[in-house]
Structure 1
């Protein structure tokens, strides 16, 4: 689709000057993407506690800089490109349907606290740890039954919000020397989509804002098992890694492109991080 790059650039390289300048286009989202509108330099309203001028450019105050609707154009795709009734990027609507909107909590409160421009998100595992809580306990009975829960305690949208990241909940039995073979169970938390003449949703197991995902592990106790390990992992670039592997499987890929995809795959795979782990001793 020849129009696809232009649609991508609308958010990923949004400045008109970037369209014909490869070097500028490679910079992606720059300061001007948010702070220049129709030739005017804009910025957030000046906090009432600030008594001295702030360094940087002089900007006209714009109240929307402190509200979630400022984020809407690039953080929610239009409904006319919905997949199974929801756009692949539906973050703003998830927030609008959550308890965070009536509570007055905006995107900026978490992602730009006090106006800071770190833009922390799913690639920052410390930030992710503040968004979810992992809980687990062993149920009494003859069989080995474990209940594991992942609660969305801090994200004002689904966890994770887009189809790109994937969270994985893992339960396995441990012996004195580590994990025991054949005891592992994995559950994906994410939105799985596939492309075949159009996008198709395969599954959606994300955790809405303030929601809880509960998974149950029932197995026989393995010989030598001394504990249960429950862990939560986040893979921010999961979909990209899957895409790159598909490209590398092609036999007609030019050498230069193969090297680029291999480097991109290594970077995507390195994004996986451990969020939390719980170990429960077995009696």
Structure 2
């Protein structure tokens, strides 16, 4: 008598003609509801974040509570909305809309259309371009703040960012308050060619208006600040503050070493090295920045008030 017709095959599946086995085993038979209680729960993909320094997996809520500063001290890159919440009192501020510019003025040819890159960046960040503007109080001191978002096409400087910077400068003059910028950029936006490079001159001219009004301009250099941004408005502040270990440079190590034919010291493009050489005034941890900024703004605005009185 052939018995093979009633046995499972080696794959563990019932043989042809045999009814499928009830799943769940003995536990499901005696307590059907238990299976749902002990079922495997799905873990969100973004619940753990890898530390860029140590490779340690960090619990996301703990990292958010620490302002995205890891236990090793690494200041991770953050978006514009987070930066504004961390900077202003109680996370409250007034957003100032940026001017609208033509998206693809040069019809730049690429493996992916520039217009599509912009759409993707806007969807990912929720911002119109790489700069966001807001007005509010920093420990009671009013200021217009610009945040450059590295998540938006590497914080690149294009027409949209240039117009946003000019708008922020105009708002600071109109409201008679200081202008603060958090820089983070890989440099000029190649898809806009010369139009991008023109923003270096245009932002500098806008700063002249701020300084002519006797208003402070404070730069907070975050990781990374490079290229045409470091060659223009990022280095024109009255005071330059940097986050720990922020990369601040014009071009990369290899390019510089090949140009001058010398080996450069370790960390020569980091904030701490630049403080020692006088290029940056001080380094401040992210949690300390509101207090540091408020102290600087209060001191500089007090000097302005005395000058006006005199």
Q: Does TM, normalized by the shorter one, top 0.5?
A: no
Could you tell me the TM-score, scaled by structure 1's length? Answer: 0.19
Could you tell me the TM-score, scaled by structure 2's length? Answer: 0.18
Q: Which has the higher strand share?
A: 1
Greater C-alpha radius of gyration: 2
Q: Which has the higher helix share?
A: 2
Greater RCO (Cα-Cα under 8 Å, separation 6 or more) = 1
